[in-house]
Each structure stands twice: as structure tokens, then as C-alpha cells.
Amino acid sequence: MIKFNMAPAARKLAGHVMAVKPGEKALIVTDSGRSPCITEALAHAIAGAGARLAIAEMPPHPMGGVDPPAHVTAAIQASDVV
């Protein structure tokens, strides 16, 4: 298995693409079919940028483009960065 250090890419994503700022409410939405390493790297980068982080993990849905459950939608709407 090839190991890849995701920290630099996650920091670039959080700092430059998402432009996470200290004190912002950030939410990572993922599904249990994804590698937890990706979520973990992004979570560290977002927390390192000073945001208040929450993670919503859902079971994978067999069809893409389906709206998340209402409580996840509420978390998305309450967040500054998703």
C-alpha cells in the first residue's frame, strides 16, 4: 500500500481553497465509505487554522445527489465553512 502524507494538501485546502479563519464554524460532511485518513488530515488542518470543527459522518447512499438527513442539513446551514 502506498502511504501519502496528506497534511500539506489538507493545509492548502483549508487555508487557501476554503480560506478557513479563526473562530469560524467548520463542518466536514463525510460518509463511512471514505478513508478516515482523509477526514483526519482535513480536521487537523481546519482545527489548526483556528476554526471550531464538527464532523458529520453518514452511511454511504447508493445513489449520489441525494439530500442529507434534516439534522445534517441543519448543521450545514449553521456552519460558516463546509
pLDDT in tens, 32-58: 888 899 999 999 999 999 999 999 999
DSSP H or E segment with residue 21: none
Q: Is 40 domain-assigned?
A: yes
What is the band of 23 on the pLDDT scale with cuts at 50, 70, 90? very high
Task: Note whether residue 25 is domain-resident.
Answer: yes
pLDDT of residue 65: 78
Cβ–Cβ under 8 Å, residues 31 and 56: no
For residue 11, being part of any structural domain is answered with: yes
Q: What confidence score (pLDDT) does residue 40 get?
A: 95
Say how many domains are in the chain.
1
Q: So what's the pLDDT on residue 2?
A: 52
Q: Residue 62: its pLDDT value, please? A: 82
